[in-house]
Structure 1
Amino acid sequence: MKDFTPIGLFVDSSVVLWAQASTGIANFAALRERARDAQRPLSFGTTGGGSVSELSVEQLARHFGLNLLKVLYKGTAPQVADLVAGHIDIGVADYPVAAGHLASGKLVPLLVIGRQRLPELPQVPTNFELGIEEPDFTIWNGLFAPAATPAPIVARLHEALAVAARSEAFRKVAEGQGNRPIFQTGEEASARLRRKLDSRRKFKEQIERGGPAA
Structure 2
Amino acid sequence: MNRRECIAAVVGMATAAAWAQEFPARELRIVVPLAPGGGTDTITRQITEKLARQLGKPVIVENKGGAGTTIGMAAAAAAAPDGHTVVVNGDTVAIFEQIFANLKFDVFKDFAPVAYFASAPIVLAAHPGFAPKNVAELVALAKKEPGKVPYATPGVGTPHDLAGLLMMQKGGIRLNEIQYKGNGPALADLLAGHVSIGMFTISSVLPHIRSGKLKALAVVGDKRTPVAPEFPSMGESGLAGVDVSSRYVILAPAATPKPVLARWNSAIREITKQPDTAESFLKLGYETMVCTLEESAALLRAERDRWKPVLLAANVKPQ
Normalising by structure 1, report the TM-score.
0.88
Q: Deviations over 1:129-167 (max 9, x none)?
A: 445427x52221222221111122112222222221211
Query: Is 1:187–2:283 an aligned residue pair?
Result: no
Alignment partner, residue 99 of structure 1: 206
State the SS of the aligned residue for 2:138: helix
1:24-51, Cα deviation, whole Å (9 max, x unpaired): 2211122122222237710101111222
1:13-32 maps to which residues of 2 (within 5 A)?
A: 13-32=120-139
- Between stretches 123-132 and 27-36, larger displacement belongs to 123-132
Contact 1:110 1:124 in 2 (8 A): yes
Which structure 1 residue ranges, 5 or more long, are not aligned? 210-214
Higher strand share: 1
1:160 partner SS: helix
Does the C-alpha gap of structure 1 residues 169 and 16 become closer, same or farther in structure 2, counting only changes over 3 Å?
Answer: same
Question: For the Cα contact (< 8 Å) 1:15–1:178, is it kept in 2?
Answer: no
Q: 2:241 aligns with which of 133, 136, 152?
A: 133
Structure number with bigger Rg: 2
- 1:32 aligns to what SS in structure 2? helix
Note the aligned Cα RMSD (angstroms). 2.0
The 5 A counterparts of 1:2-41 are: 2-38=109-145, 41=148
Structure 1 residues 32 and 38: alpha-carbon distance in aligned structure 2, compared to 1, 3 A threshold: same
Report the Cα distance in structure 2 between the residues aligned to 1:150 and 1:56, rounded to whole angstroms: 35
2:250 aligned with 1:151, yes or no?
A: no
Describe the SS at the equivalent of 2:112.
strand
In 2, the alpha carbon distance for the partners of 1:177 and 1:28 equals: 26
- Indicate the residue corresponding to 2:72 in structure 1: none
Letter paired with 2:210: A
Aligned residues of 1:7 and 1:186 also touching (Cα < 8 A): yes
- How many positions carry a matched residue from both structures? 208
Asked if the contact 2:150–2:197 (Cα under 8 Å) also holds between the matched residues in 1, the reply is yes
Identity of aligned residues (%): 30
Aligned to 1:204: 311
- Say if 1:184 and 1:39 are closer, same or farther in 2 by CA, change over 3 A: closer
Counterpart residue number, 1:46: 153
* Structure 2 length-normalised TM: 0.60
Q: Deviations over 1:37-81 (max 9, x none)?
A: 237710101111222222211221222222411111111111011
User: 40, 50, 68: which is aligned to 2:175?
Assistant: 68
DSSP-derived class of the 2:314 partner: helix
Q: Which of 113, 117, 133 matches 2:220?
A: 113
